[in-house]
Structure 1
Amino acid sequence: MARIRISKNSFSGGEISPFLIGRGDLKAYENGMSKMRNLIIYPTGGVRRRPGLRYIDTVPGPSRLVAFEFNIEQSYLLSFSHLKLTVYRDGTKEVEVETPWTQDQLKLINWTQSADTLLVVHPDLAPRKISRTSHTQWTISDWSFYEDEETGRLQQPYYKFGKDEVTLTASATTGTVTLTASADVFTSDHVGTRLRLAKREVEVTEVTSPTVAQALVKDKSDLVDTLATKDWEEQAFSNVHGWPVSVVFHQDRLVIGGTRDLPNRLWMSKSSDLFNFDLGEGLDDEAIEFAILSDQVNAVRSLFSSRHLQIFTSGAEWMVSGEPLTPETIQLKRQTRVGAPVDRYVPPRNVDGATLFTSRDGQDLREFLFTDMEQAYQSNDLAMLCKHLMNDPQDQDYDSYRRLFYMVMGDGTMGALSVYRAEKISAWSVLETQGKFLNVAVVGREAYVLVERSGGIFIEVFDDDLSTDSSLFGMDQEGATNWSGLEHLEGQKLKLVADGALMSDQTVVNGQISLVDPVFKLEAGLSYTHVLEPLPPAPQATGNATQGGRVRLVSLTFRLKDTLALKLDVGRGLSDIPFKRMGPTAILDSGGDQFTGDITVRALGWRSRGTEQLWRVEQDTPLPFSVLSVVEEMTANA
């Protein structure tokens, strides 16, 4: 009977798909786990219990979280809800501003920031500009395209939506004129929009019929004549034909991508003149406009400024190059054929020079990375080994401080990808809470989440000093027995950590909890459970003795780091593990010092199915837990 020792010195494979149980030959299998829930993977290979979530505020309904960072010292969390924007600074509400976006429209808002201005677009609404003048002074206004003082023309994009043979005839060349079309052109939404006839502008004031409208001549040069002309076009962005889908700043230009009626078109402003889209004569600094033409309509879903301008469409990914970008040097090349979601905006994020984006089918997290060898982009799938975790991604952001990429799933869980490309680390774990994760936004070093719980929808932030969710932490220099401020968790049973010691659970009544003895420091919040479960021993590691044979776990040796609780199942049910600390043997509890060192646990029982896990860590105790490596000693009988 063979005695085998298997050392797991790294958990950098993360949680991998159960369909890979037969692939013990993979490096990811050696470093992977069957389950990693509410655990964070160190880039060095160990794992620890995830931080708790500190309660920030209750929001009126489903919202969209957006980071606004003016500089290191001035950063804000913006919460877009139904017709309202709430601004938070350092977790404190600063101001509320009325907005035009309804709750149902929040999924498709798209934004970009420059200094103290945030540009926000939505395909059904006129784009807005949100400006900050101080911590508490924020304004929202419509975009204002550059107006040429000499001509009175607005330098916004124009396009002829009607068929080429359709003509327009003006009844006069100045003042209020009647426009007559040779085919149906006008709708009631045309009121307030501008048209160009032979490059001269008019603004529609009234629509009489689909072929007749009244308009005011806005061009200071008046119209050319009153003859029927095919040389006419209307503003590209309007209630008639839709508003911009996406927006970004790139090489000192404002880039707009796609509308409802022009889904595959891009517009670039003049250089250093962000709201001037005058094409002029095609000089180097003048505006640029082009369509993405290919074998299918590639509707622009998002834009990203990186080494090149990256365009993510419904069916492919594109690169716009040119150093610098000018009407003469610009080049458009399709790179990969993955596609991005069309029913929501999931913002692409930069991670170590690569752009991570969600695939259209919601099954992939793709790494869009330029390779010098091929001088092209590749789209590698970072979720190839854990497809069971990918469940209709809704939002994503990257925490560079913790090197964690967060991805909010449609089922309310959140994937946490520990990514470090230089060390070839790409490890997934799953974050769960009592409720559903809805949104995520990283502001500086703070990772905020929007969470739906039984008591409402809350903004919360990961806090390394806490071990419960939706929690509050308080201090009282004289000690207190009654602790209030917990109205958001009314009727909920909470975990308590008082003066560093674990206390019995308490239920919130009238927004407060009452203790028997006074305490000076108290953390109160909802529990969450972390789970660490290994893959079955691979036949390659046991000399093929475990495939078709039996295996018995003899002992486990954990190397722990700064740990205060360990609950383990080695086949006899979950139990707290006794181990030596400061001399005597005792169950590790909340009143002790954090333990760092090795602990060995004996086990009994044969396993014969070949796909069973030999052990499992599972606990909701709100105390630190961290493991660096595990050594399994077992016997195998072929």
Structure 2
Amino acid sequence: MSAVTTQTSFTSGEIDPRVYGRIDIQAFQQGAAKLVNLIVLPGGGVTRRPGTELLREISPTYRLLDVELPDSRVLIGIGANILWIWRADGFYQTLTSPWSAAQAANVRWARRRDTLLLCHPDVEPRQLFRNSTGAWELSSFPFSSAIGVAGTPLTHKPFMQFSDIEIALQPILTGDETQAIAAGVQVVVKASVPMFTAAHLNCRLKIKGRQLTINNVLDSARVTALTDEALIDGRATVDWGEEAFSAARGWPVAVAMHQNRLIIGGSRDAPDQIWMSRSGAYFDFDMGTGLDDEALAFRLTGERYHRIIGLLSNRHLQVFTAVGEWIISGDPITPANVEVNLQTTVGSLASAYVPPLSVDGATLFVSGSGSELREFLYTNTEDAYQAADLAILSRHLLSQPIDMAFDGGRRLLCIVRADGVLVTVTIDRNSNVAAWAQHVLAGSATAILATADGLFLVIRRAGRCFLQRFNDALSMDQTLIQTAAAPTVQWTGLDLLSGNNVTVTSNGRFIADTSLTSGTLTLSEAVTRIECGLRFSHVAEAMPIAGGNNGLALDTIYRTVAVTARSAATATVMLDAGNGLKQLKPESASAVQDNHMRAFGWRRPLDGPPWRIEQDSPEPFTLLAVTHEAKVNT
């Protein structure tokens, strides 16, 4: 009997082989066994991904960020003890940074206009900003302070107690302990249990609301401190706190801006604590008397220990922990009306920081297992948030993610894996599309960033590191673009590609394949523009024949009779219908065309794909639909 199937959509993306038994679901009919270097279009087809434009060589970079200025945008790369700033006009500046390579990949950040706030729990937080001369600087957080009665600066950093057991502190000065202790006096502070370390030197304490600065650590239970303001008395008390952020207790884990407050989530020794600054005073964490605009702090309390992984300002302030997802709400948030609620208990990836992203009103985050992409979304029917898994059909592609960005123009969620492979998910919530594909780049990706100016990647190749950008006009990777005022055959400035086999095109027209041994290239024809880059192959493979349909056995023997591939704006189709790759040339490279191939040979569904496309020609390629005609042995 004859079996004719037409696949008009690939919007289920590349399907996990572990789902091949589900021939009854729609995804089996709208997916592919393999999609490499192809992007699924929301309308159903697949298209060759853009090539990458090589912008400059950089130091090894593990996190890529940006800051939008009134007149431009700058990219910021964080590497091992280095931070660089790049602008499209060629501006480039480097700064020494405090983060190691491992720490750089786990830095969290928030943007406050043209200032970038950067945190890691083992390093004092920094802000990156432009000074009055236009140069960029990296400095510590400028926590607010006030001048006390004695003329001593009093910090508005947050204070807290870190121990779960009750500890009493007593400031000791010779004389009656019931008497006040003046400002500017050195006292011995004694703890009821050991709690001090050498790292407490220069840290501040607050006893009954009054501040002291530790100037010597005597032992684990005693320090000497200088009173920054007069103490109420010298009695032992449990009403005290120490600086929440210090070398002794660690530094902030995550930051966000929400409702005109700076939000800090977690620290090394207080991983489940939330601090909110005063409204409009981003570095003032003085809790005062609980007025509406004053700072507030609280713990995420639940049955499990909620170590904070990340924060995101969305419809509500969203807090992602290792074991659950919370929302913090209030209209606006004040000390009197703040509401804190646990919504779901999925948990976020802790081994590497993959930032949660807001996409079409939902928040996408990687689960703690690293193999689930969850959509954290408020639903009116449940009056609560839910977290559906978008990777359930393509779980084989989500492995050890290290970075993530959303390209709104292309509707692409881009995920960088630890092996350097880029995975994309075409997302269109209105059409219920979440289509996965994988992309093998000319090198290994280590970081990614999506901005209004394009999709930027950091690529490591042959021991070197490059900043690159997806360019829809290119069909090769690591491409250098050169122009000349008059046609020429001699081209220079190609040193970044030296030592590679390259392809040269001119405005997309093939010129030559050559081996580049230096930064100079001589062509056989004179042109005014060249694109010199590295080829990459795209691959599309069909799902196995669904032999179990229509009462047939899963391993039904079939013979492909013909395959027709409908393409658009495509010059060449390399199609394998069972007899190896054959070239098909559409009559028009600019129109929609049907490309037909006949084939022979009996086989079973799992012997190989019914059809396969693979080609590396640096040309546009779009596949809209495929018809497969077969004879089935019943």
**Which of 161, 165, 168 in structure 2 is aligned with 1:166?**
168
Out of 99, 102, 124, which is 1:126 matched to? 124
Q: CA shift at 1:169, angstroms?
A: 2.0
Q: Which residue pairs with 1:206 in the alignment?
A: 216
The 1:510–1:176 alpha-carbon spacing in structure 2 relative to 1, beyond 3 Å, is: farther
Task: Return the TM-score normalized by structure 2.
Answer: 0.94
> Relative to structure 2, which stretch is displaced further, 237-246 or 179-188?
179-188
Residue 135 to residue 96, structure 1, CA distance change in 2 (3 Å): farther
Aligned AA (2:418): G
Q: For 1:498 and 1:120, how far apart are their aligned partners in 2? A: 43
Query: Which position in structure 1 is the counterpart of 2:350?
Result: 342
Letter in 2 for 1:318: W
Contact 2:52 2:468 in 1 (8 A): yes
Partner of 1:587: none
Which of 198, 204, 208 matches 1:188? 198
For residue 80 of structure 1, the aligned residue among 78, 84, 92 is 78
- Alignment-derived partner of residue 623 in structure 1: 619
Aligned to 1:607: 603
- The corresponding residue for 1:633 is 629
Instruction: Give the secondary structure class of the aligned counterpart of 2:93.
Output: strand
**Map of 2:298 onto structure 1:** 290
Q: Cα–Cα, structure 1 residues 12 and 431, in superposed 2: closer, same or farther, change >3 Å?
A: same
* DSSP 3-state at the match of 1:277: coil
Q: Once the 2 structures are TM-superposed, how far is the Cα of residue 506 of structure 1 from its aligned partner? A: 1.2
Q: How does 1:458-469 map to 2 (within 5 A)?
A: 458-469=466-477
State the SS of the aligned residue for 1:465.
coil
Residues 451 and 544 of structure 1, relative CA distance in 2, 3 Å threshold: farther
Could you say if the C-alpha distance between residues 434 and 500 of structure 1 is closer, same or farther in structure 2, counting changes exceeding 3 Å? closer
Q: How does 1:126-525 map to 2 (within 5 A)?
A: 126-132=124-130, 136-150=134-148, 152-162=153-163, 163-171=165-173, 173-182=182-191, 183-219=193-229, 222-498=230-506, 500-525=508-533
Which one of 563, 568, 571 corresponds to residue 570 of structure 2? Answer: 563
- Secondary structure (helix, strand or coil) at the match of 1:119 reads strand
Cα displacement (A) at 1:167: 2.2
Q: Answer whether contact 2:324 2:344 (CA < 8 A) is retained.
A: yes
Q: Can you list the C-alpha shifts for 1:580-604, whole angstroms capped at 9, x where unaligned?
A: 34xxxxxxxxxxx545322211111
* Worse-superposed segment, 464-473 or 55-64: 55-64
CA distance in 1, matches of 2:290, 2:45: 57
Residue range with higher mean Cα deviation, 427-436 or 272-281: 272-281
Q: Which residue number in structure 1 is paired with residue 177 of structure 2?
A: none
SS in 2 for 1:68: strand
How far does residue 149 in structure 1 lie from its aligned partner after superposition? 3.3
Deviation (angstroms), 1:390:
0.9
Distance 1:468 1:458, change over 3 A: same
- Residues 129-181 of structure 1, C-alpha deviations (whole Å, 9 max, x = no match): 11135895222221122213355422221112354233232335332413232
CA contact (8 A) 2:263 2:276 kept: yes
**TM-superposed deviation, 1:609:** 4.5
Shift of 1:540: 5.9
Q: Distance in 2 between matches of 1:445 and 1:423?
A: 26
More displaced stretch, 76-85 vs 525-534? 76-85
Query: Structure 2: which 5+ runs fail to align?
Result: 174-180
- Conserved 8 A contact 2:448-2:456: yes
Q: Partners of 1:203 and 1:326 in 2: how far apart?
A: 30
Tell me, yes or no, if the aligned pair for 1:405 and 1:419 is still in contact at 8 Å.
yes
3-state DSSP of counterpart to 2:33: strand
Q: Tell me if the contact between 2:46 and 2:622 (Cα under 8 Å) persists in the aligned partners.
A: yes
Shift in Å, 1:417: 0.5
Q: CA deviation at 1:280?
A: 2.0
Q: What letter matches 1:203 in structure 2?
A: T
Provide the rounded CA distance (Å) in 1 between the counterparts of 2:226 and 2:383. Answer: 52
Letter in 2 for 1:397: A
Does 2:104 correspond to 1:102? no
CA distance in 1, matches of 2:256, 2:507: 49
- Residues 548/230 of structure 1: CA separation in 2 closer, same or farther (3 Å cut): closer
CA offsets, 1:613-633, max 9 Å, x none? 111101111111111111112
Could you tell me whether the CA contact under 8 Å between 2:7 and 2:627 is conserved in 1? Answer: yes
CA contact (8 A) 2:559 2:602 kept: yes
Conservation of the 8 A alpha-carbon contact between 2:356 and 2:364: yes
Secondary structure of 1:427's counterpart equals: strand
The normalised TM-score by structure 1 is 0.94
CA-to-partner distance for each residue in 1:367-398, whole Å, 9 max, x for gaps? 00001111111011010001110111100010
CA distance in 2, matches of 1:283, 1:372: 33
Which deviates more, 572-581 or 355-364? 572-581
Counterparts of 2:537 and 2:519, CA distance in 1: 24
List 4+ stretches of structure 1 deviating above 6 A: none
CA distance in 2, matches of 1:98, 1:438: 20
Structure 2 CA distance for aligned equivalents of residues 315 and 135 of structure 1: 46
* Aligned equivalents of 1:263, 1:110: Cα separation in 2: 14
Give the conservation status (yes or no) of the 8 Å contact 1:56–1:91: no
Cα pair 1:455 1:490 within 8 Å, conserved: no
Residue 581 of structure 2 corresponds to which residue in structure 1?
574
Residue equivalent to 1:17: 16
Structure 1: 5+ residue stretches without partners: 582-592
Aligned residue type for 1:60: S
Alignment match, 1:552:
559
When structure 1 is superposed on structure 2, of 240-249 and 611-620 the one drifting more is 611-620
Contact 2:13 2:32 in 1 (8 A): yes
Q: Distance in 2 between matches of 1:482 and 1:610?
A: 52
SS in 2 for 1:563: coil
Counting aligned pairs with the same residue, the percent is 35
Asked if the contact 2:274/2:299 (under 8 Å) is kept, the reply is: yes
Cα separation, 2, equivalents of 1:136 and 1:23: 60
Change (3 A) 1:494 1:200: same
- Tell me the CA shift for residue 404 of structure 1: 0.5
* Mapped partners of 1:213, 1:610: distance in 2: 73
Aligned-pair Cα RMSD in Å: 1.9
CA contact (8 A) 2:159 2:242 kept: yes
Alpha-carbon contact 1:176-1:214 (below 8 Å) kept: no
What is the aligned partner in structure 2 of residue 39 from structure 1? 38
Aligned equivalent of 1:64: 63
> Number of paired residues?
622
Separation in 2 of the partners of 1:113 and 1:119? 6
Cα shift readout 1:80-122 (whole Å, capped 9, x = no counterpart): 1222221122273432233222222112210000211111111
Distance 2:99 2:269 in 1: 21
Moved more, 20-29 or 180-189: 180-189
Distance 1:170 1:130 in 2: 42
Q: Is the 8 A contact 1:317 1:338 kept in 2?
A: yes
1:121–1:128 CA contact under 8 A, matched in 2 = yes
Partners of 1:537 and 1:546 within 8 A in 2 = no
| Deviating more after overlay: 101-110 vs 47-56 | 101-110
| Secondary structure at 1:378 match in 2 | strand
The whole-number CA distance in structure 2 between the counterparts of 1:535 and 1:521 is: 41
Task: Give the Å deviation of 1:269.
Answer: 1.1
CA distance in 1: counterparts of 2:631 and 2:132, whole angstroms: 68
Using a 3 Å threshold, how does the CA distance of structure 1 residues 53 and 134 change in structure 2: closer, same or farther? farther
